[in-house]
Amino acid sequence: MSEKADQPPLSSSVSASTNATPSSYDLEAADRNSHRVEHNAVGYALIANFQSSDRDFLQYRGFFQLHSRVLSALQADIGYLETELDSMDEWDINCGIERRLACLRDKKRDDLQSRMEVMPDAYTAMFDRTRPDVMLDLRTKLVQYDEMLLKTREVYALQRPAQSDYNSVRNWFDAQKPVVRGELDFIQRKEDLITLRDGRESASFDEFVERCLHALDKLLSSWCRCQVIKRIFITEEMRQKTNNLRIYYYAPQRVDTLVNLIITAIIFTLLVVPVVLMYEMAQVGGTASPLESIGILTVFTLLFGLAMSALTTAKRQELFAASAAYCAVLVVFVSNFGGQQVKTQGAST
């Protein structure tokens, strides 16, 4: 993620004499510099270093409009060839020449006899080539069309970059200006950009957690100059990727671990809290009324559905099934707990 950071610039590599054997420290420094975004890079080399430094930065144009235009052009070409082929078939059927009608039933004969120099004058007056020529052209165009159609579907299946990732990349391009202005226009076409990063199960929640980490880091840095967030979520290798103060990288594995812990805590809370609430209500009032139990069940089932929708990419049927299963668990508890309450009251009387 590209943001404003408050860390000092990294030290430069140590030079060595030409006749001296490089020390291990020199080799480590050279290796460290070779992985920096800015190391010996200008123009497109700098862009390549930056975009390859993090999966979130692999953003490129999808050229959706051009894909559609090429497909439409190929579709029109094939349509013209289809019309031409139908016209040739119709001519052979209606011309009254038996050998031309036989060519429609025998492809090998059609390939041998359908040559412009032996075709009737009425045919050459209407057409400038034969049916095998059209079929050959059709074969080429259909292969191109099918390949383009499938490739376009694959491009459209790629995900759009998240807003925070797009902002990071655009801010870097605006600040660095690695190439001439005319070749930077692509970054402004947000609706045409795709990302090569695979979709994450909780991508939007990951972004929210990263924003919270960044806000907390800024708060701690301004109040008490505490760098605990950077120490935990930014590894030493990632600090060495750049000496640009506006760029820092969160360790994906550590962020994923934090996200998984948060999701686990949310699931645990949604399972335990309604049970505890109904138990406490029964203890305080002697028994939990059906309306109170149904109200708690309804509220927490809605909260569970909202959590599933926000934290995962579950489809509608999966969301419905998970919510139904969660509701069933609560209903079973309410039924068992209500039965125990009735038995207790009966025994006391």
Question: Is 26's pLDDT higher than 50?
Answer: no
User: Once rounded to an integer, what is the mean pLDDT over residues 45-70?
Assistant: 89
* DSSP H stretches of helix in the chain: 24-34, 44-52, 64-94, 98-105, 107-113, 121-126, 131-157, 163-176, 203-224, 228-233, 236-239, 252-285, 290-311, 316-348
| pLDDT confidence of residue 62 | 93
Higher pLDDT, 136 or 121: 136
Task: Answer for the pair 34, 240: CB distance below 8 angstroms, yes or no.
Answer: no
- Looking at residue 61, what DSSP letter applies? E
Q: Distance between CA atoms of 153 and 256, rounded to whole angstroms?
A: 30
Question: Is 19's pLDDT higher than 50?
Answer: no
**Residue 235 region, left (φ>0) first, then alpha (ψ -120 to 50), else beta?**
beta
User: Once rounded to an integer, what is the mean pLDDT over residues 23-28?
Assistant: 44
Amino acid at 238: M
Which of 218, 221, 201, 341 minimizes the C-alpha distance to 281?
A: 341
194 φ, ψ to 5°? -130, 160
| pLDDT confidence of residue 152 | 95
Higher pLDDT, 14 or 293: 293
User: Once rounded to an integer, what is the mean pLDDT over residues 30-50?
Assistant: 68
Identify the band that residue 156 occupies on the pLDDT scale cut at 50, 70 and 90. very high
| pLDDT confidence of residue 241 | 64
User: Once rounded to an integer, what is the mean pLDDT over residues 47-58?
Assistant: 84
Please, what is the average pLDDT of the chain? 77
Residue 81's Cα: distance from chain center in Å?
38
Q: Distance between CA atoms of 67 and 149, rounded to whole angstroms?
A: 9
| pLDDT confidence of residue 220 | 84
318-344 pLDDT, tens per residue?
Answer: 888 988 998 888 888 777 665 555 455
179-203 pLDDT, tens per residue?
Answer: 888 888 888 898 999 998 876 555 6
Identify the band that residue 100 occupies on the pLDDT scale cut at 50, 70 and 90. confident
| pLDDT confidence of residue 282 | 67
Question: Is 12's pLDDT higher than 70?
Answer: no
Higher pLDDT, 213 or 313: 213
In terms of DSSP bridges, do strands 193-195 and 59-61 run parallel, antiparallel, or are they unpaired?
antiparallel
Total-model pTM: 0.63
271 φ, ψ to 5°? -85, -35
Q: Using a CB cutoff of 8 Å and minimum separation of 24, what contacts does 124-133 make?
A: 126/87, 126/91, 127/84, 127/87, 127/88, 127/91, 130/88, 131/85, 131/88, 131/89, 131/103
Identify the band that residue 309 occupies on the pLDDT scale cut at 50, 70 and 90. confident
Task: Answer for the pair 60, 196: CB distance below 8 angstroms, yes or no.
Answer: yes
Which of 182, 195, 220, 204 minimizes the C-alpha distance to 313?
A: 204
Higher pLDDT, 266 or 226: 266
Q: Distance between CA atoms of 148 and 69, rounded to whole angstroms?
A: 11
| pLDDT confidence of residue 240 | 64
In percent, how much of the chain has pLDDT > 70?
A: 75
Question: Is 285's pLDDT higher than 70?
Answer: no
Secondary structure (H, E, C), 167-223: HHHHHHHHHHCCCCHHHCHHHHCHHHEEECCCCCCCHHHHHHHHHHHHHHHHHHHHH
Higher pLDDT, 310 or 239: 310
Question: Is 146's pLDDT higher than 60?
Answer: yes
